[in-house]
Structure 1
């Protein structure tokens, strides 16, 4: 599969979904709640429809799993060697609180790993994309496109973390890193900050789902980074349970055994 040409088409799909999401973002939108009490807005549903419809037209032979349509039986999903993994709006709380740090996420998963990803931040007017063999890129708020890559810490480790998820285990992990500074970022932008060299590591010792991480994981991997579980194995996708184990996203400089 030619990832480079596919990236162009998928980026256009993400931009279309982002434009619609932003149209809703600047209105007095209604907030509803799912059965698990997580928030949902018209932007989640509109973005989902735009992306899913476009991907099914672009690649009718590749199945799609979206957060907003996740009730696909495991008996069906376990047959998928390749599938699209979508989070129409990651950071719905950021959306509803109008922080601007919500994202639209599209990933292509092959054999348990994200091989292509697009992440857009509609309110920030930024976008990131990357794929195996194609590198990773950022389109900034001025529309300029830059190739991006991870960096290694010098004296201070820049740790990206969320104030909402800074639990005791995460604090203990961060303290073991030595001299560090916290870098705030919402939603999947945490991975992107590492991919563009603005942060070095993101420990997530709390619950996430596969669609929360897939697209940004692909961008980070294309930028030279990695996402590993706490035992040092690559974070995998296409599991029966869509919940991710705890993980650490970083540049290639980080080694899990340094925490022991």
Structure 2
């Protein structure tokens, strides 16, 4: 049992936190904003920090669980490896999409237990769309005040394979995976963790990732995929459809980088 009760009230609180963080992001998105540089030279905006501070404050009000955020990730492995349950955040996933102002950026809040994301909220402020769910909870899309269940879909014979890919990062190894699929393929370009949500909501069949990601990039949407009946498996580009591939897990090693992975039904 999780030390944080994922009842309807708390799920609503978590989605509200993500949505309010999105409002803070949009207030900056709609004006000119400053861009700083992180140690790894990736762009960091005022919006990342505004969302980070708000989410952390709100989570500390409702639980005493540890928090790991992209904007506060300098927690040593000796400390982290003792965690069984913790919050994993990306306050603004898709910073490059934010700077380009194409709307494809998200607020990601995940609850991780024993290496598995058991609940996640993915909110896309500019799209006014929220995905949330987890294994045993189901998966849902909240848009225009309406909440609807979502589920992964299986590819049907003679159907075009809809394969979602990154708008900002693309790899030649994707072509190898597309070629391995029987039949015609269509690449659906998308930014941020919305790519996983495309599979969760049945808008795409597959999302193979053969580029770099960190654990906070994927955990929340991974939980939504699980709630929608899908899987997120470690990907070997030479064996992209290996039935024995292991499930992507979190906080199992010192590095916070993910291996390559495949999202599917």
Fold match (TM-score > 0.5)? yes
Aligned partner of 2:242 in structure 1 is none
Aligned equivalents of 2:189 and 2:11: distance in 1? Answer: 28
Aligned mate of 2:255, from 229, 232, 241: 241
Q: Does 1:159 align with 2:155?
A: no
Partner secondary structure for residue 118 of structure 2: strand
Q: Which moved more, 1:175-184 or 1:162-171?
A: 162-171
Moved more, 28-37 or 206-215: 28-37
Are the counterparts in 2 of residues 7 and 131 from structure 1 also a CA contact under 8 Å?
A: no
Residue in 1 that maps onto 2:240: none
C-alpha offsets along residues 75-101 of structure 1, whole Å, 9 cap, x if unaligned?
Answer: 110100001000000000000000100
Counterparts of 1:144 and 1:122, CA distance in 2: 16
Partner of 2:179: 175
Unpaired runs of 5+ residues, structure 1, are 252-260
- Point out 4+ residue stretches in structure 1 off by more than 4 angstroms: none
For 1:53-72, list aligned pairs within 5 A.
Answer: 53-60=57-64, 62-72=65-75
Alignment of 1:33-44 (within 5 A): 33-44=37-48
Deviations 1:182-219 (A, max 9, x none): 11211000011111100010000111000000000000
Distance of 1:166 and 1:25 partners within structure 2:
25
Partner Cα distance (2:89, 2:176) in 1: 32
Query: What's 1:28 paired with?
Result: 32
2:86 aligned with 1:115: no
CA contact (8 A) 1:128 1:192 kept: yes
User: Could you list the runs of 5+ residues in structure 2 that have no partner in the other structure?
Assistant: 237-244
For residues 5-31 of structure 1, what are the alpha-carbon distances to aligned partners after superposition, in whole Å with 9 as ceiling and x for unaligned? 332111111111011011111011111
Instruction: Specify the SS of the correspondent of 1:87.
Output: strand
Q: Does 1:199 align with 2:201?
A: no
TM-align CA RMSD: 1.1
- Aligned counterpart, 2:189: 184
CA distance, structure 2, for counterparts of residue 161 and residue 230 of structure 1? 15
Q: Distance in 2 between matches of 1:175 and 1:107?
A: 34
Residue aligned with 2:13, SS: helix
TM-score scaled to structure 2, two decimals? 0.91
CA offset at residue 161 of structure 1?
0.3
Q: Distance in 1 between matches of 2:80 and 2:74?
A: 10
* Residue in structure 2 matching 1:225, options 224, 230, 234: 230
Residue 211 (1) aligns with residue 213 (2): no
